[in-house]
Amino acid sequence: METNNNEITQKELMLRGTAWSTASNFISRLLGVIYVIPWFIWMGKYATQANALFNMGYNVYAYFLLISTTGLNVAIAKQIAKYNSLGQTEHSYQLIRSTMKLMLGLGLFFSFVMYITSPIFASMSGSDQQLIPVMHSLSLAVLIFPIMSIIRGIFQGHNNIKPYALSQIAEQIVRVIWMLIATYMVMKLGSGNYVEAVIHSTFAAFIGMIASMLVLVFYLNKEGLLKKIFAKPVMDIKIDAKGLLWETIKESIPFIVTGSAIQAFQLIDQWTFINSMLLFTKLPKAQLMELFGYFNANPAKITMILIAVAASIGGVGIALLTENYVKKDMHAAAKLIINNITMLFMFLLPALTGAIILAKPLYVVFYGVTVPTAISLFRVVLLQVILLALYSLLAPMLQALFENKRAMLYFAYGVIVKLVLQIPSIYLFHAYGPLLATTFGLLLPIVLMIRRLHQVTKFNRNLLFRQILLLAILTAVMGIVVVLGNWILGYFLSTDGRIASLLYLLIIGGLGFSIYGYLTLVTHQLDKLIGDRRAENLRRKFKIA
């Protein structure tokens, strides 16, 4: 009975955490996509080049964010869950105090390193000197990020995702507002220099993080954690602060390595594509910047929404998986793994199917009318999202079971495959080459991680396969309806403008959403995502037996 109640509690924690984390990631990513519409319009003929420059800066910046935290934000959540489950809460607070001091130093150090190495990264990217001031503006955000990420990790370790989620939303809202105001002032009221507008847009990351910190500190105080963190350590309890910190750093290094896969692959693309194409073709650099924007910068704004959902699901499960592992409850761990993967596919399969079918109107809404090559590359990137999302989910789950060395080894295998295939793929397939190399670079670690997760927890592979197969069948039914609706509506509505494309998406997308929602309610699959009670209320409301 106690075990059953524990499973129910874990399921409720999982659902609540997943709901907050998924909502915040989706909202913040959606805001990060919606701003593109006015931003692209105001950039005018330089829009794709401006977005490519923006993304080049962010690719390097994202890597510095990972390194500057040394993965401690995720690892500290894991360690807090571990010590709390063992009843050693004072160990958690001592660890938090020591880690915060370290993060202040790391933020200062890596902000300085990013600033002074900007010319080197600009040269490697093939963007001349334009990238240097963009990276300078982003280096300020690196100063704040480490301490902010640690505070988020504190809430995650206590299975309280709400403050974490609200801080993400606040960060994105403030960032987007700053970006749009600054871009309009530069492009419409000022010099019209798109590089200057990009610099102000990237500086918005720093402003957004200030807003995020305010939200986090507010909730630390509200939850009573602020006083406990800054209280004097209990003297009669001997705590090896340095030992705890070193233990956490050892745990965090694998999170840096494996968590940087997407950024690593994007940086490989950034540092090889333009320079390689200059050798293999006679295309001018401006045109190559546009091609880079078509397969990297432009799709990333949309696809990262889907990948963020996968990362949020995996992140929520880390503390619970670790708790089960410490308690040697492999049955509960296996159930969590199956639930995580099932929830991922429940969201991802219909979302990707609909996006691929409606790729043209979806692209036009955000980036305007474009060349067929851009739409074709966009569809290929969408197909690749399933691999990126799976990796983002599986890697932290494997590490939650203390399989850190294997996780790093599998990541290394993937990077080696990517590096070996990258240049030949660019030579043979041009803009499609980096995407092909990434696909093979992700497939290998994904297969190895799934195999290892099964070896450790003995999760029911047949059950997982049947659940994914059922979701695939439901998605196929939805896809057929969407294809038919797309074909019929095509006779009455064009997708050559933003407004028409948006209307197109609302009609066909709404149709697909309704069909899939109905099917998942009938088959009780939606219960796993929103909970039995809410799903039952929906079935009662829509009179579904």
DSSP line for 28-57: HHHHHHHTHHHHHHHHGGGHHHHHHHHHHH
How big is the chain, counted in residues? 545
pLDDT of residue 2: 46
The pLDDT of 403-417, averaged and rounded, is 93
3-state secondary structure 408-433: HHHHHHHHHHHHHHHHHHHHHHHHHH
Residue 5 pLDDT greater than 60, yes or no: no
Q: What percent of the chain has pLDDT over 70?
A: 91
Query: What is the residue extent of each domain of the chain?
Result: 35-255
Q: Any residues with CB less than 8 A from the CB of 221 and at least 6 apart, and which?
A: none
Contact yes or no for 452/401 (Cβ under 8 A): no
The mean pLDDT of 301-313, rounded to a whole number, is: 74
Confidence at 321, pLDDT banded by 50, 70, 90: confident
pLDDT of residue 545: 66
The CA–CA distances, whole Å, from 219 to 101, 216, 227 equal 20, 5, 12
Mean model confidence pLDDT for the chain: 87
pLDDT band at 428 (very low <50, low <70, confident <90, very high): very high
The pLDDT-based confidence of 478 (bands split at 50, 70, 90) is: very high
Q: Rg for the chain (alpha carbons), in Å? A: 23
Of 322-326, 384-388, 507-511, give the lowest mean pLDDT range: 322-326
Which pLDDT belongs to residue 82? 76
Rounded to two decimals, what is the model's pTM? 0.80
CA dist 407 and 398 (Å) reads 7
Residue 130 phi, psi dihedral angles, 5° rounding = -65, -30
Residue 245 has pLDDT above 90, yes or no: no
| Band of residue 310 on the pLDDT scale cut at 50, 70, 90 | low
Distance between CA atoms of residues 54 and 74, nearest Å: 27
pLDDT at 240: 63
- Give the residue-averaged pLDDT of 85-96: 78
- Asked if the model's pLDDT at residue 31 lies above 90, the reply is no
Vertex 142: Cα angle to 104 and 227 (nearest 5): 35
pLDDT band at 186 (very low <50, low <70, confident <90, very high): very high
C-alpha–C-alpha distance, residues 308 and 382, integer Å: 14
Choice between 4 and 494, residue whose per-residue pLDDT is larger: 494
Least confident segment among 250-264, 279-293, 306-320, 326-340: 306-320
